Structure 1
């Protein structure tokens, strides 16, 4: 749904890269995968939400797994939404 013609999109491959970016730039929306090579998505969320500028910026989670407990945990911590990313084509 998001394309670069309408939005400026910045992608990272690791949680450390994402955290470094939010310290240097203000984003209007953050989408976090629940599983990254170096960190858990929920841990990244907690770090970002400790930054004053990001207290009211929406953060959405996406996950390849349909883990209800993970979804519940993300929403309980205050995530704005959670989507299960299906691999069906």
Structure 2
């Protein structure tokens, strides 16, 4: 999935960094402090929700928006993600390239508005 996301977003001018597991991803987030995290819930070595909670519990990373991408498409999973965990968005697999771009741009534009309102 990383290669597909890299291809889709690279064509739009985004820089995409990828990780092959939860621990590697968490280390990358801590090191790079990205503008946005796309997080798959089903990863080797560390559950996606554990990664999410680690990101949101650390002062340097807690304000980074997270979009969950997952094969778990049931309503209860979306409710847990959006309402309880408070992820910025929840995308179910399979998704179209345009859906991914639209969701990312929506989250990033909301973040820019939030930052400019603070200043």
Q: What TM-score does the superposition give when structure 2 sets the normalisation length?
A: 0.66
Counterpart of 1:80 in structure 2 is: 88
Tell me what 2:45 maps to: 38
CA contact (8 A) 2:40 2:48 kept: yes
Contact 1:42 1:74 (8 Å CA) reproduced: no
Match for residue 50 of structure 1 among 52, 57, 69: 57
1:10 maps to which residue? 17
CA RMSD in angstroms comes to 1.9
Q: Report the more deviating stretch, 36-45 or 2-11.
A: 2-11
Which one has a bigger Cα radius of gyration?
2
Q: Give the alignment partner of residue 28 of structure 1, picking from 27, 30, 35.
A: 35
Number of residue pairs the alignment of both structures matches: 88
| 4+ residue segments displaced more than 3 Å | none
Q: Displacement of 1:53 after TM fit?
A: 2.0
The normalised TM-score by structure 1 is 0.85
Larger relative contact order (C-alpha < 8 A, sep ≥ 6)?
Answer: 1
**For structure 2, which runs of at least 5 residues remain unmatched after alignment?**
1-7, 97-119
